[in-house]
Amino acid sequence: MSWKQLGTPQHEELRRLILERRRRAGLTQQQVADRLGRPQRFISRIELGLHRVTVVELIELGRAIGFDPPAAIRRVMKH
């Protein structure tokens, strides 16, 4: 997947939202990764915009961080 595909306005908004929600929750990348059973680099790649988040991953991230995935999708759809 090319950077251009990952760098769409919607993808960028989702990346920003996940980063913002994690920080607002007071969680480190490692803490979120531990909750997901994933390596910390997985969270880092999402926040850097290097990994396209699937719907299932968005649901898991919402649970781990404490945000509403449908609300996140509505926000991303505005961009």
- Tell me the domain boundaries of the chain: 3-77
**For residues 77 and 25, what is the distance between their CA atoms, to the nearest angstrom?**
23
User: Does the pTM exceed 0.95?
Assistant: no
Tokens for 52, please give them: 């396209």
Place of tokens 């995935």: 69
How confident is residue 1, by pLDDT bands cut at 50, 70 and 90?
A: very low
How confident is residue 6, by pLDDT bands cut at 50, 70 and 90?
A: low
Q: State whether CATH 1.10.260.40 applies to domain 3-77.
A: yes
Supply the pLDDT for residue 7: 76
Cβ 22 vs Cβ 32: under 8 Å: yes
Q: What is the pLDDT of residues 18-65, one digit of tens each?
A: 999 999 999 999 999 999 999 999 999 999 999 999 999 999 999 999
Supply the pLDDT for residue 11: 92
Query: Which of 51, 28, 49, 52 shows the shortest CA–CA distance to 40?
Result: 28
Supply the pLDDT for residue 51: 95
